Structure 1
């Protein structure tokens, strides 16, 4: 499937580069893998990060309508190896560096991007990749948003690993179906505990 990779705001890229270049600040915030690296660390694969919470309160016909962009995530590479991710947040002044993160999500994000780029569903639809964070369900997903024929193509989600219980990581879903499933689970949980 064709992907149209987003261009981050210059301020977001600059914030991450400044965090990577600042020796006094970086020692305190770098991840273990980044501290062990002897190579040149570089930000790559920028994706806008969107937050969706709580899923149960959004209308079923457009569950992504409540997603709001909160910043950008860059994968931090040492050559071909992904070591971590760097997040920026939107602030009144523009973009500000937030934190570095390691764990399973950076590699899972790269895998989902590669999976989406290699997917041959026969559709000429071009998708804009984004990251979707659904903290109420402990889920992050690669969000593939159609940019030309939105009326004929659905938003797709590829859940990142680890995925929440009942959701298979790296199995693409139509966004409305997956979010409706999560919303039903939320309503059932609220009813059971209420």
Structure 2
């Protein structure tokens, strides 16, 4: 198995389990799928969510920060929703439940990564400047999942929906995709006014 899924912090997992077990506390936060699901729901596939705060490098490369942990919520053999946690001054806490296209896209990207021959540590990388989410396959499988920046040889798999001009589910080395993302954010030069 080439994916080395890092363990989520125990308090993050506990916060999700508590939210799932307390329907009165989070009834307004539950998604339609969670409200209608029959049987138990279990949090699986914990992935650290990093945010790329700066695509256009300022000489030092991209800057990322850990924003939370995301758990895919399974009911039997299907993913019905996801739960996200965040780090506060008091520790890890449940943030929210959600549904949408990123669930099936994340599952598909994880299956793609499992079929690769190279071992990776899976993470999620959010790129707010492009409204983009990727599966970040980090080459150092023993690294602390809460730290680090994308290395040029790491792989990014854009999740669907991807921004225009970037193909979802096509793996790219960071060294190849970062210049494309940079170009998308670089303002076009102003042309002179017509004479």
TM-score range, shorter chain: 0.7 to 0.9
- The structure with the larger Rg is 2
Aligned partners of 1:43 and 1:81: how far apart in 2?
12
61 and 107 in structure 1: CA distance in 2 versus 1, 3 angstrom threshold: same
- Structure 1 gaps, min length 5: none
Instruction: Give 2:140's match in structure 1, choosing from 147, 156, 160.
Output: 147
Which whole-Å CA distance do the structure 1 matches of 2:114 and 2:140 have between them? 15
Residue number in structure 2 paired with 1:98: 95
Q: Which residue in the other structure is 2:121 paired with?
A: 128
Query: SS of 1:67's equivalent?
Result: strand
**Cα separation, 2, equivalents of 1:41 and 1:74:** 11
Question: Matched residues in 1 for 2:162 and 2:44: separation?
Answer: 24
Q: 8 Å contact 2:53–2:65 — kept in the other structure? A: no
Q: Answer yes or no: is the 8 Å Cα contact 2:4–2:141 preserved in 1.
A: no
User: 46-55 or 138-147: which moved more?
Assistant: 46-55
Offset, 1:92: 1.4
Is the CA contact 1:60–1:180 (under 8 Å) kept in the aligned structure 2?
no
TM-score between both structures, scaled by the size of structure 1: 0.87
Q: Which has the higher contact order (CA 8 A, sep 6+)?
A: 1
2-side partners of 1:175 and 1:60: how far apart?
A: 16
Which one of the candidate residues 69, 74, 78 is aligned to 2:71? 74
Deviation at 1:85, TM superposition (A): 0.8
Segments of 5+ residues of structure 2 without an aligned counterpart are 144-150, 191-195
Structure 1 runs (4+) greater than 4 angstroms displaced:
none
- TM-score of the pair, normalised by structure 2: 0.87
User: What is the count of residue pairs matched by the alignment?
Assistant: 183
Greater helix fraction, Structure 1 or Structure 2: 1
CA distance in 1, matches of 2:71, 2:131: 20
